[in-house]
Chain A
Amino acid sequence: MAKPDSLGQFEQLVLTAILTLREDAYGVTIHSKVQELARSKTVSLGAVYVTLDRLEHKGLVASWLSDPTPERGGRAKRCYRLEALGERALQESAVTAKRIWDVIAEVWGKEWAKEWGKRWGKEAG
């Protein structure tokens, strides 16, 4: 079985967006979701396209053109879905992030971890 390449932070965000959007994952919705996930950072639509292109080239996502819709001036959407390789890459990234979190929490103490946990809880509303 092919081993997925390690993902960059922005690639992780784009893959997470596709995972959450499921059937409705295309340029505009992926961009909105990535913007939401990136919080304070401004994300351009072009950066999302570049990353989607790269992920498709790596075989982590698949794309297809949907039927044209009137609100888009009769133009089709390019929809995306995660491939098995993409799911595996995202899982590995999540596990690595968890491992990093655990080690940092262990070194900097449980109080620090609690404080950050609260901050993230507030940010997420």
Chain B
Amino acid sequence: MHSGPSKTAEAIVAVLVPPARREEVLGDLQERYTSPRQYTLDALHTVPLVIISRMCRTADPQILLIQAFALYVSFLGAAWLRGGAVLSEPWGLLRLAIPAAMAMLGLILDDTYANPGRRSALSLARGPLLGLVLALASQEMFWISDPDLAIPRWIAFYGCAMSLLLSSAVRMLFPPVTGQLLGANAPALGLKQTGASRGGPQAIIRVLKGISAILAVAIVGTWMAERSVPPKAWIAVLLLVLLIAYQVSKRG
């Protein structure tokens, strides 16, 4: 006699639970199974919390802030590039924040649902791509339902292209923490990482990388806004910071 949840119910739960926790959550829910109703209620009480918990473990607030800045600057730059008319319109700045927020959601979801076992060079671009799709989808929805909330198409396209470039660059500088080990050695590793990030050369490299990323975003933003070559001094400062970061990382 079949005494487990239906395949459909299990498949839905399997899709919703992040891969890093899928095995044990599905197993535990199956072990507790008594009836379809109980399974549904159990899943409803469990899955959202598992997703939020995974989000908290994979998201780094400092990097998220840099990403948010880069994404918003992308759409702001695109608006300037297209004449800046949208900036003077009512709620213009807020409307530009909607696609940036959707792109951010894409990055967070990608980190949450990343499989720690599978890592490839393309995985760094997957999050920004998902963000781009979500940003364009949200704009498409607004263009159909409420055009007042949408930003002009060309600003959306330019902004998405720019955000893809910048957020990929930020992800290359700060790779996501989804590759953390999950196993008996995990806490020791976690402690080492926490300890390393609190001081020493690692902390300096981290700060320098952050400064470099912000400088890069500022240079690109200036270039887009003024449609002119960025000041040489800015580029020189960026190169200098990158050089210091490289030297510190080599010695550290």
Contacts and interface: CB of A to CB of B under 8 A. Distances in A.
A56 B30 CA distance: 24
Interface stretch (A8-16, A76-84, A95-103, A106-114): A76-84
A57 B190 contact: yes
A73 B29 CA distance: 10
Given A75-B26, A78-B24, A28 B31 contact: yes
A63 B57 CA distance: 15
Interface string B48-64: 11101110110000000
Q: Contact residue range for chain B?
A: 35 or more
B24 A2 contact: no
B186 A53 contact: no
Given A46-B47, A64-B183, A73-B4, A59 B27 contact: no
Interface of A: 2, 26-28, 31, 44-47, 49-50, 53-54, 56-65, 68-69, 71-73, 75-78, 83, 85
A75 B57 CA distance: 23
A77 B49 contact: no
Contacts of B28: 26-28, 31, 45, 72, 77
A9 B32 CA distance: 25
B232 interface: no
Contacts, number: 99
Contacts of A72: 27-28, 30-31
Nearest to B194: A59
A96 B196 CA distance: 31
Contacts of A77: 24, 27-28
B49 A44 contact: yes
Nearest to A47: B49
A63 B32 CA distance: 21
B133 to A, nearest CB: 28
B226 interface: no
A63 B191 contact: no
Contacts of B23: 65, 75-76, 78
B148 interface: no
Contacts of B4: 73
B49 A50 contact: yes
A56 B187 contact: yes
A59 B191 contact: yes
Q: Which of B28, B29, B49 has the most CB of A within 10 A?
A: B28
Contacts of B187: 56, 58-62, 83, 85
Interface string B178-206: 00001111111011001000000000000
Contacts of A64: 183-184
B34 interface: no
B25 interface: yes
A57 B59 CA distance: 13
B95 interface: no
Given A57-B57, A73-B30, A78-B24, A2 B52 contact: no
A46 B184 contact: no
14 contacts: A26-B24, A31-B28, A44-B46, A45-B42, A46-B47, A56-B187, A59-B187, A62-B183, A65-B23, A72-B27, A72-B31, A75-B26, A76-B24, A78-B23
Nearest to A65: B23
B52 A75 contact: no
Contacts of B182: 63
A53 B18 CA distance: 13
A59 B190 contact: yes
B52 to A, nearest CB: 7
A63 B56 CA distance: 18
